[in-house]
Amino acid sequence: MSTFGTQFCENFAIARYLDDQWQAAAIEPLRPLELHPASHVLHYASTCFEGFKAYRWPDGKAHVFRLPDHVARMQKSAESLRLPVPDTELLSNMVLDLVTRHIDDVPEPPSSLYLRPTLIGTLPNIGAAASPSTEALLFVLASPVGDYFAGGIRPLKLLVEDQRSRSTEQLGSTKTGGNYAAALGPTLDAKAEFGVDQVLFCPQGDVQETGAANFMLISDDEIITKPLDTSFLHGMTRASILTLAADMGYRVNERNFTVAELFSWIPKYEAALSGTAAALTPVGTVVYEGSELPVRDGPNVERLRTALQSIQYGQAEDRHGWLTPV
Ligand SMILES: Cc1ncc(COP(=O)(O)O)c(C=O)c1O
């Protein structure tokens, strides 16, 4: 399968917000969009998106992971950008209708169908920096994606960045393009300078997350991660891993911690990144102030990843009702 995110199903779901209301959604052949060059999104970055997957189960059906939670996160993102908020039913049905149309494109695990709802402000007004887009376009892309770990699991190397941020205090939990734009420069700089895979953003020493995944520390009996606030994205994988960890008897410790605390713990704790793309990926090394430090290697990251993926793949009971059948 081609590189993540570059192969698309032939159709997409699309709906417009016009005249103060959402218009009926449709499934249409995927095509380039026609946008007025003055569209709000192109100047003032009024855009948000979601990312989640549908998995093929042994019963032959497709199952969408945590659909209502992703719809709710999209609604929160839209609200924070003062974009028209998609109705729950509208967005859920756009996703489900698209998966139904492309049911034969949902691959067997460990591959899956990645779904990408996107909302953009289309009001043609280049004088609207301080006013919201009252017109919008909502669409959902579907993209078959392969095994993230094809070629084996390679523990990641992270740069601990204690100065620069990936976002702002008010937009950190909004899934909006500007946050990725902010993280790109520091991430590319760190890759070039230190040969790392990702940057762990820890502004003023506060350990937050990487450019596209949440961060957690895991021992044989405890899991530590930052508690929810507006500074970082509230990952569904993070929430799911914490729930499963509690089910499996780990102590779940959501607390703020500093870079200094992180370094005092990494001899004893495994570290991992959580996110839709890779589920739970081990961190092998952290780079800080020019030194490379190994992180503990152990069985717990894999144990938790397997617990999550077994549910996603329909191999273990979905006790929390996370999967919507299509
Ligand atoms: C900035 C950021 N943090 C965390 C995550 C993980 O979120 P989720 O587990 O919902 O995929 C993502 C990926 O979507 C992300 O882009």
- The DSSP secondary structure of 5-30, one letter per residue, reads TS---SEEEEEEEETTEEPPPEEEE-
Residue 234 Cα to ligand 1 midpoint, Å, equals: 7
User: Can you tell me which atom of ligand 1 is nearest the CA of 238?
Assistant: 9
> Both tokens of residue 119?
């909302």
Q: What is the pLDDT of residue 147?
A: 86
Q: What is the pLDDT of residue 324?
A: 98
Whether 84 contacts 124, CB under 8 Å? no
Q: What is the pLDDT of residue 37?
A: 98
Q: Which residue has the tokens 């996160």?
A: 73
Domains of the chain: 11-145 (3.30.470.10), 156-312 (3.20.10.10)
- Inter-CA distances, 320 with 65, 67, 207, 241, 244, Å: 11, 13, 29, 12, 9
Residue 12 Cα to ligand 1 midpoint, Å, equals: 22
Assess whether pLDDT exceeds 80 at residue 187.
yes
Q: What is the distance between the alpha carbons of residues 52 and 237, in angstroms, rounded to a whole number?
A: 10
- Give, for ligand 1, the residue of 184, 233, 305 to mutate: max count of ligand atoms closer than 8 Å to Cβ: 233
Residue 70 Cα to ligand 1 midpoint, Å, equals: 11
DSSP assigned state of 210: -
Residue 235 Cα to ligand 1 midpoint, Å, equals: 5
Ligand 1 neighbour 238 (Cβ under 6 A): yes
Tell me which amino acid residue 123 is: L
Confidence class of residue 121 from pLDDT cuts 50, 70 and 90? very high
**Structure confidence by residue, pLDDT tens digits, 234-291:** 999 999 999 999 999 999 999 999 999 999 999 999 999 999 998 999 999 999 998 9
User: Residue 145 in 3-state DSSP?
Assistant: strand
Q: At what angle do helices 236-247 and 300-312 cross, to 10 degrees?
A: 110
User: Can you tell me which atom of ligand 1 is nearest the CA of 52?
Assistant: 11
**Structure confidence by residue, pLDDT tens digits, 1-33:** 678 899 999 999 999 999 999 999 999 999 999
**Structure confidence by residue, pLDDT tens digits, 204-228:** 999 999 999 999 999 999 999 999 9
Overall residue count recorded for the chain in this entry: 326
Mean pLDDT across the chain: 97
Ligand 1 neighbour 98 (Cβ under 6 A): no
Assess whether pLDDT exceeds 70 at residue 315.
yes
What percent of the chain has pLDDT above 90?
Answer: 95
Q: What is the pLDDT of residue 1?
A: 65
CA dihedral 47, 53, 54, 55 (to 10 degrees): 170
What percent of the chain has pLDDT above 70?
Answer: 100
Q: What is the distance between the alpha carbons of residues 213 and 137, in angstroms, rounded to a whole number?
A: 27
- The better pLDDT of the pair 102, 290 is held by 102
Residue 284 Cα to ligand 1 midpoint, Å, equals: 20
Confidence class of residue 151 from pLDDT cuts 50, 70 and 90? confident
